[in-house]
Chain A
Amino acid sequence: MFETILIANRGEIAVRVLRACRELGIRTVAVHSTEDRDSAVVRMADQSVQIGPAPAKRSYLNAAAVIEAAKQSGAQAIHPGYGFLSEDADFAEVCEANGITFIGPPPAVMARLGDKTSARAAMTEAGLPLLPGSVEPLADAESAKRLADSIGYPVIIKAAAGGGGRGMSIVHEADEFARTYQQTKATALQLFGDGRVYVERYLASARHVEIQVLADQHGNAIHLGERDCSVQRRHQKLVEETPAPGLPKELTERMGAAAVQGALATGYVGAGTFEFLVDTENDFYFMEVNCRIQVEHPVTEMVTGIDLIAEQLRVAAGEPLRLRQEDVRLDGAAIECRVNVEDPRRDFAPTPGLLTRFVPPGGPFVRVDTHGFTGYKVPAAYDSLLAKVIAWAPDRPTAIARMRRALAEFGVEGPGVHTTCEFLDQVMADAEFAEGKHDTGLVARLLG
């Protein structure tokens, strides 16, 4: 096992990674921008290195500075968390070249799965079901239009290099296609520096269900059940849960087996997520692979009792998986709510600022992953996730009641600071959500 790990991230996930390291007796190095010099992870870490100014481009996304900090502090491995450098194959390669272990899949696997079109091609090859659409990036507007016509509308145009719910647009009618195609290409080029797009059938009321996989360097892979992430606003997840309500066990088991098949076929290593869309007929389609730990990983931890970050570290250190598929037991139901500093009444505008009061919920079977504390100033330079509240119960209705209790306990105050707690409670109180019959359109209906 590693002696020292550098955590190349900030916010709640940096704290989460630090906790896993500490439990395993691993020394931690936090890197931070000038803006984050008083952050929770900096206070908790064994060592901290200031790597740049507030803008992420010059600090958390600055590969050279992160590598330099790792060398200075004697770190043998870097945990990238999610976002920032976590899915940057070039960064993983630079780590390798410097003799530092990147905690994630091998660079080549990351590059292949990170590109949505080559990922689609790889999964077609592995025998996974895909939505009708293009496997190769589209050559030009005309052939793209012909393909869209043959698929039938609505279709969705997605950036090959896209992610995080950005760089995609839906086309409802054939005569809208040409204009939207050009717009999406332009947006993709602007956001990702890569204008390649592909097209696939759009499912209006599909559920977003993903499978957590874990693979080692010795050719073993298992899945840890599914997560339902259908409560989204503008493709941003707000609530995640497991098991996916209302899905037959037989279906999620087939999805799990498909994900393992995809992981083994591509030489995947570490923790990863296979995202699928499930339609009203309970057919499922591969969407993409996330080559990192995800924000919503705690719900899986709650029902399996497996510390996913610790497993990531063990796998990266070369240890074989300690579990076989039949050892994985999924117990009860877990829900995660993302508490953001945003004002739902002002179109979810971010509300950074000083937290004059920060009292996270507690009590039985409630877990809070956060970097917040009273006196912490939430910087405006980064994303608005402040805390993740996770509730576990033997069954879903009890988990919902527990989550509502926990959200009501959460006390956050500060000049101009708002949180999404109340809105999340509205979701928890929704009749459709309670029945588990909601889809990705739920938030729009609640706000409408």
Chain B
Amino acid sequence: MSYRPRAVHDDERVEAPADLDAALASVRRTAAELLASSPVPPATLNVRAGDVSVEMGWATGEAVATTTAAPTRLTVVPAPEPTGETINAATVGVFYRAPSPGAPPFVVEGDEVGRGQQVAIVEAMKLMLPVEADKAGRIAEVLVADGEAVEYGQPLFRLAAADQQKAA
């Protein structure tokens, strides 16, 4: 699972105190260390600089949220995580689910796919570029309609872990 902690200022923007660099660096370092030491990546992570408090929450329990907004609070929140793995568009273009109009789609929801298996086409400048699963799994959801325009990096399919029984 990838984690990208992102520094976010408080709503009331701090008017750049002289030690902001140091505070930011320290918060980043602390967050990185906490994430590295955590066996399972947490769903939320709050690091407070003022009165030194650290809060971590995991998806199984309710995420801990602090609402007290101290003016100098710096919060590190993880970037929004897509629910599960996705297969993303490798180019801007038009998304097609089937090899030709009227043909059955490459994959439907519930299909097991292997790494490198073609699951769709993105057409860019009359080039039909195959979309391949970059990991094995089960197609949990098709996120884009056939013939729709997609951007670079846009999630096309949501993948669930491969069926345990089949994998065994």
Q: Assess whether A356 is in contact with B92, with CB atoms less than 8 Å apart.
A: no
Asked if B153 CB lies within 8 Å of chain A CBs, one says yes
Q: How does the 8 Å CB contact mask read for A41-57 relative to B, with 1 for contact and 0 for none?
A: 00000000111110000
User: Are A65 and B20 also in contact (CB < 8 A) when A50-B154, A53-B152 are?
Assistant: no
- Report the minimum CB–CB distance from A7 to chain B (whole Å): 15
Check if B149 sits within 8 Å of A72, measured CB to CB.
yes
Asked if A69 is an interface residue, CB under 8 A from chain B, the answer is: yes
B91 at the interface (CB under 8 A from A): yes
A374 CA to B125 CA in the complex, in Å? 38
Instruction: Identify whether the interface residues of A are mostly helix, strand, loop, or mixed.
Output: mixed
Query: Which residues of B have CB within 8 Å of A98?
Result: 125
Minimum distance in angstroms from B145 CB to a CB of chain A? 14
Instruction: Report if B24 contacts A (CB, 8 A).
Output: yes
Q: Are A68 and B20 in contact (CB under 8 A)?
A: no
| The residue from B13, B15, B25 contacting A415, defined by CB atoms under 8 A apart | B25
Q: Does A325 contact B (CB under 8 A)?
A: no
The contact size tier of chain A is: 20 to 34
Give chain B residues whose Cβ lies under 8 Å from the Cβ of A356. 16, 20
Contacts of A375 in B (CB 8 A): 9, 13
Q: Are A50 and B125 in contact (CB under 8 A)?
A: no
Kindly list chain B residues whose C-beta atoms are within 8 Å of the C-beta of A374: 13
User: If A64-B125, A68-B93, A415-B24 touch, does A53 touch B16 (CB 8 Å cutoff)?
Assistant: no
Those of B81-129 within 8 Å (CB) of chain A: 91-94, 124-125, 127
Check if A236 is an interface residue, CB within 8 A of chain B.
no
Contacts of A72 in B (CB 8 A): 92, 94, 149
Q: Mark B9-39, 1 if CB is under 8 A from A, else 0.
A: 1000101100011001100000000000000
Is A419 among interface residues, defined by CB-CB distance under 8 A? no
Closest to A374 in B: B13
Residues 325 to 370 of chain A near chain B (Cβ within 8 Å): 354, 356-357
Q: In the complex the two chains form, what is the Cα distance from A375 to B10 in whole Å?
A: 11
Contact A64 B91, beta carbon cutoff 8 Å: yes
User: How far does the alpha carbon of A50 sit from the alpha carbon of B92 in the complex, in Å?
Assistant: 7
What distance in Å separates the Cβ of A39 from its nearest Cβ neighbour in chain B?
15
If A68-B124, A415-B25 touch, does A50 touch B13 (CB 8 Å cutoff)? no
A51 touches B92 (CB 8 A): yes
Judge if A242 is at the interface, Cβ distance under 8 Å: no
Task: Assess whether A67 is interfacial by the CB under 8 Å rule.
Answer: yes
Q: Are B16 and A50 in contact (CB-based, < 8 A)?
A: no
B151 at the interface (CB under 8 A from A): yes
Count of chain B residues with Cβ under 8 Å from any Cβ of A? 21
Which chain B residue lies CB-closest to A69?
B92
Is the Cβ of B153 less than 8 Å from the Cβ of A65?
no
| Those of A379-404 within 8 Å (CB) of chain B | none
Q: How far is the CB of A10 from chain B (nearest CB, A)?
A: 15
Bits for B148-164, please: 1 = Cβ < 8 Å to A, else 0: 01011110000000000
Let me know if A64 and B152 touch, CB within 8 A. Answer: no
**Residues in chain A near residue B153, CB distance under 8 A:** 34, 50, 53
A440 at interface by CB-CB < 8 Å: no
From known contacts A50-B92, A415-B20, A415-B25, infer whether A65 and B9 are also in contact, taking CB-CB under 8 Å.
no
> Looking across the interface, which residue of chain B has its beta carbon closest to that of A34?
B153
**A59 interfacial by beta-carbon distance below 8 Å:** yes
Given contacts A64-B127, A357-B16, A375-B9, 14 further A-B contacts (CB under 8 A): A49-B151, A50-B152, A50-B153, A52-B92, A53-B152, A64-B125, A65-B91, A68-B125, A72-B149, A374-B13, A375-B13, A413-B16, A415-B25, A416-B21
B binding-site residues for A, Cβ under 8 Å: 7, 9, 13, 15-16, 20-21, 24-25, 91-94, 124-125, 127, 149, 151-154
Selected A-B contacts with CB under 8 Å, 19 pairs? A50-B152, A50-B153, A51-B92, A51-B151, A52-B91, A52-B152, A53-B153, A59-B152, A64-B91, A64-B124, A65-B91, A67-B125, A68-B91, A68-B93, A69-B92, A98-B125, A356-B16, A357-B16, A415-B21
In the A-B complex, list the 6 residue pairs whose CB atoms are closest, starting with the nearest: A415-B21, A50-B151, A72-B149, A64-B125, A357-B16, A356-B16
Residues of A at under 8 Å CB distance from B?
34, 49-53, 59, 64-65, 67-69, 72, 98, 354, 356-357, 374-375, 413, 415-416
